[in-house]
Amino acid sequence: MSHEIKNEFLREMDARGLLYQCSNLAGLDAAMNAGSITAYWGTDPTGDSLHVGHLASLMLLRWFQKFGHKPIGLVGGATGRVGDVPTKSNDVVRPALTDAEVEQNLAGLRRSINKILPTEILMVDNYEWHKGYGHLEFLREYGRQFTIAHMLSMESVRRRMEHGLTFQEFNYMTIQAVDFLHLYKEHNCVLQLCGADQWGNCIMGIELIRKKLGKEAFVLSTSLITDSAGEKIGKTGGNAVWLNEDRTSPYEYYQYFRNVADVDVDKFLKIYTEIPLDEIAKLSALKGQEINEAKKILAFEATKIAHGTDAARAACDAANALFSGGGQSAAIPTIEVSGISDQVSVLDFIMMTDLFPSKSEARRTIEQGGLKIDDVVMNMDSVITPTDGMMVQKGKKTFLKVVIK
């Protein structure tokens, strides 16, 4: 960042690697130094939980609140009813959700957002103001504010052009711009927080506010966080690591952060915990086996933010019990399996547990000796006689307790 930042919030976020782009850093710096401001972050209801991939933006929102500013969470009930716009150039547009699916997902998203924030925040649904617009009314009110040339210049549009850009996708940024305008007028919301992939859409919002109201607003983005291998964070074994405990247990969540690569410890401590930066510097300097202590602290602190201190402590205790040979714990993920005959092949059995995203991956893990059941290494010829409470181990650090119905 070329501007010398004076605001404490912005300086802290910059030092933690949470700032990527700002539409007017000097202007935002001055506005935040002048007093408390309001910002919003939004998400679409493509599922009933957010995942760790969303967490950098949510941590930005969390810090924003902790520094005395007012955050707003927006859930896209309007977008969910017309179909979500893909972020990759070759993705297909997701189908429109039913009203019941939208409402179910919105409830889960509200829970995801509020569990990361220190105190409950104002939550809004853009369907509340978009449902009142007819097509002609929307065009009459806002159509002249957007030029085709400018919209075509957006990176999100250019990525989709060669694969076939739909009218729905093309208009997504106008819907998002109107959201920002609405929140500016109703809540004096002057800042939108977003991930880097939403930058172009968000810029349209501040331009609409300038044209319609003659006021200045700001956009602040986080980068898309990747691990040392260049992979987007939040995946384990091909599956997303969810924030809501009914999708990913606190133990699995803890284990995700416990198992990060050594070179990612410093970055992840800065982004996904609130440990002071001077302490992070000491933890990141640890070498060899000692870096595992830093990983345990990372896992505990990250889990505490998402699930609370008690759940983080239970997950830590469960991991310690397993890896020290101290037995099982109630915090270990459990799955109920039914419809099993007296004996079943290990491959068929393991696919009933949802531990692997595909049969080919399960087969590969078994062939490589990476699957144990009750501490016995399995092979492709193994036959299982299921018993209640069996402990399945995938690799070195993923455990699952199986309850037979």
pLDDT digits (tens, 9 = 90+) for 5-28: 999 999 999 999 999 999 999 999
The torsion angle over the Cα atoms of residues 249, 255, 257 and 263, rounded to 10 degrees, is -160
Catalytic status, residue 394: no
8 Å CB contact between 221 and 191: no
Catalytic status, residue 182: no
Residue 374 binned pLDDT confidence (cut-offs 50, 70, 90): confident
Give me the helices (H) in 276-325, please: 277-284, 291-307, 309-323
Catalytic residue among 104, 168, 236, 334: 236
Superfamily of domain 249-323: Tyrosyl-Transfer RNA Synthetase (1.10.240.10)
* Residue 197 vs residues 22, 154, 223, 285: alpha-carbon distances, Å: 13, 11, 8, 32
d(CA 227, CA 261): 8
Catalytic residue among 54, 258, 267, 394: 54
Catalytic residue among 174, 176, 198, 255: 176
Q: Which fold has domain 8-222?
A: Rossmann fold (3.40.50)
Catalytic status, residue 21: no
Catalytic residue among 16, 51, 267, 307: 51
Place of tokens 């501040």: 206
- The pLDDT of residue 2 is 66
Q: Can you tell me whether residue 122 is helix, strand or coil?
A: strand
Residues of the chain with CATH 3.40.50.620: 8-222
Catalytic status, residue 372: no
Identify which has the larger pLDDT, 69 or 196: 69
Identify which has the larger pLDDT, 43 or 389: 43
The conformation of residue 231, written as its DSSP 8-state character, comes to P
* Residue 25 vs residues 30, 203, 253: alpha-carbon distances, Å: 9, 14, 35
Catalytic status, residue 131: no
Q: In the CATH scheme, what is the code of domain 334-404?
A: 3.10.290.10
Catalytic status, residue 365: no
- The pLDDT of residue 1 is 57
Question: Residue 73: which of 107, 111, 124, 120 has the closest Cα?
Answer: 124
d(CA 230, CA 172): 29
8 Å CB contact between 72 and 113: no
Each residue's pLDDT tens digit, 199-222: 988 999 999 999 999 999 999 999
8 Å CB contact between 183 and 74: yes
Each residue's pLDDT tens digit, 284-330: 999 999 999 999 999 999 999 999 999 999 999 888 877 655 455 55
8 Å CB contact between 252 and 246: no
Residues of the chain with CATH 3.10.290.10: 334-404
Catalytic status, residue 54: yes
Catalytic residue among 232, 282, 359, 364: 232
Q: Is 382 exposed, middle or buried (CB count within 10 Å of its CB: 0-12, 13-18, 19+)?
A: middle
Catalytic status, residue 307: no
| Mean confidence (pLDDT) of the chain | 87
Mean pLDDT of 232-244: 77
Q: Can you tell me whether residue 265 is helix, strand or coil?
A: helix
- Residue 352 clears pLDDT 90, i.e. is over it: no
Catalytic residue among 11, 235, 363, 372: 235
Catalytic residue among 3, 6, 88, 282: 88
Q: Which long-range contacts (CB under 8 A, 24 or more apart) does 261-264 make?
A: 261/227, 261/228, 261/229, 262/291, 263/228, 264/227, 264/228
Distance from CA of residue 69 to its chain's centroid? Answer: 22
Q: What is the pTM of this model?
A: 0.81
Catalytic residue among 197, 227, 262, 348: 197
Phi-psi region of 216 (alpha: psi -120 to 50; beta: other; left: phi over 0): beta
Residues of the chain with CATH 1.10.240.10: 249-323
8 Å CB contact between 201 and 146: no
